Amino acid sequence: PPGTNGGITMWGTFWSGMGGFMIGLGAIFLDKVCSGFTDVPCYQILLYSTVCGLLGSFLDSLLGATLQATYFDDEKKLVYCEKENAPSHAKCIVGMECLSNAQVNFFSVFATTYIGGFYLAPLIF
């Protein structure tokens, strides 16, 4: 159901890529305003930022779907992302109770930064 940790939609994936693309546009703009012209072509910056946006989104979904529990209340038809907020009769529909939402976000940002910096950047630039 909507709200399930780790859920992926085409619309959400599109906007993850667009978010990365917008960050790339911002980086290009700041580079031009603050330091003049860079030697790196704009298309490489936009490709890198878009791929990192998508990678981060997929890693966040993977961790959320596997290591963060989601509970569902059949009576109220509501999704709960934390056991503390869920009623006692709600059942776990996906994931394990290993990480909180904040921890999933932290690890996905860390992994995206690491993979983006050490693996994607040398391939793209």
pLDDT at residue 39 is higher than 90: no
Q: What is the pLDDT of residue 84?
A: 87
Residue 113: its H or E element: helix 101-115
pLDDT tens digits for range 48-69: 999 999 999 999 999 999 999 9
pLDDT tens digits for range 93-103: 999 999 999 99
Determine the angle formed by the axes of helices 42-67 and 101-115, rounding to 10 degrees.
140
Q: What is the pLDDT of residue 52?
A: 98
Rounded to an integer, what distance in angstroms lies between the CA atom of residue 101 and that of residue 44? 32
pLDDT at residue 34 is higher than 90: no
Q: What is the pLDDT of residue 4?
A: 85
Rounded to an integer, what distance in angstroms lies between the CA atom of residue 18 and that of residue 61? 17
Residue 19 pLDDT class (50, 70, 90 cuts): very high
Helical H segments across 1-100, by residue range: 10-35, 42-67
Residue 32 pLDDT class (50, 70, 90 cuts): confident
Rounded to an integer, what distance in angstroms lies between the CA atom of residue 29 and that of residue 71? 43
**CA angle, residues 95, 61, 101, in degrees to nearest 5:** 65
Rounded to an integer, what distance in angstroms lies between the CA atom of residue 73 and that of residue 88? 9
